[in-house]
Amino acid sequence: MMGRTQVSWTTACSSVSWTTLWSNFADGTIHDNADRGAIHDTRILFAGSKGFIGMELQAIREIVARHRHRPGAMLPILHEIQQVGGHLPATAIAIIAEALNVSRAEVYGVITFYADFRTEPPGRSIIQVCRGEACQAKGGCELEEHAKRSLGIDFHQTTTDDAVTLEPVFCLGNCACSPSVRVGDEVHGRVDATRFDELVAEAKASSGVGP
């Protein structure tokens, strides 16, 4: 039986880890509770990963099956699939629609309604610029424009080197230190253009993308 010992579950995954993870499910089986726990409990997020490339459909089905009978199952399903794989692929949308007996358009409508969901694999780092009122009152709009100009992309896009995906967010709970930016899991306050560029450089360095 294939094991999971090669995977560092508590750290952000490299692409190698993703390959290892999903090779564990290559026969379409969730092998044991350890594997199951790996899916449920770890924050296997975006760093160094292209998400669902190679992900077995069985893993998506397992997530759907676990939530499908709950009231309001759609959101927890979408959140968990994205948490595991970094985005919501078309195959997941089809599986969710069938399981919940809704149209694919309805699933897609929910995905596009919420800014947090994405249908494309993210870059190695996700940088979120807060567009909440407190941040906008403290220079958030200027910071947003700088972020787009500096990275050469709009919100919901990824730099051509796959290093950074830029996303909007609506309050990071850090209003007292606005404007705020989140890089991965870390929230940074009082971010100006210079600090933003430093954060981008740090994110690229930590994900192995040169300056």
Which residues of the chain form contacts with ligand FES (CB under 6 A)?
A: 130, 132-135, 171-172, 174-175, 178, 180
Whole-angstrom CA distances from 44 to 25, 64, 74 are 15, 18, 20
| Residue closer to ligand FES (CB basis): 17 or 180 | 180
Considering the complex, what minimum distance in angstroms separates the CB of residue 145 from ligand FES? 16
Considering the complex, what minimum distance in angstroms separates the CB of residue 122 from ligand FES? 21
Residue 22 amino acid letter: W
Residues 6+ apart with CB under 8 A from 186: none
| Residue closer to ligand FES (CB basis): 88 or 169 | 169
Considering the complex, what minimum distance in angstroms separates the CB of residue 115 from ligand FES? 14
**Partners of 158 in beta bridges:** 165
Considering the complex, what minimum distance in angstroms separates the CB of residue 181 from ligand FES? 9
CB of 169 within 8 A of CB of 130? yes
Distance from the Cα of residue 105 to its chain's centroid: 22
| Residue closer to ligand FES (CB basis): 24 or 178 | 178
**Partners of 130 in beta bridges:** 169
| Residue closer to ligand FES (CB basis): 2 or 134 | 134
CB of 143 within 8 A of CB of 180? no
Whole-angstrom CA distances from 1 to 23, 27, 35 are 11, 10, 12
| Residue closer to ligand FES (CB basis): 68 or 190 | 190
Which position's Cβ is nearest ligand FES? 132
Considering the complex, what minimum distance in angstroms separates the CB of residue 174 from ligand FES? 4
Tokens of 79: 């959140």
| Residue closer to ligand FES (CB basis): 191 or 209 | 191
Considering the complex, what minimum distance in angstroms separates the CB of residue 183 from ligand FES? 14
Tokens of 138: 């403290």
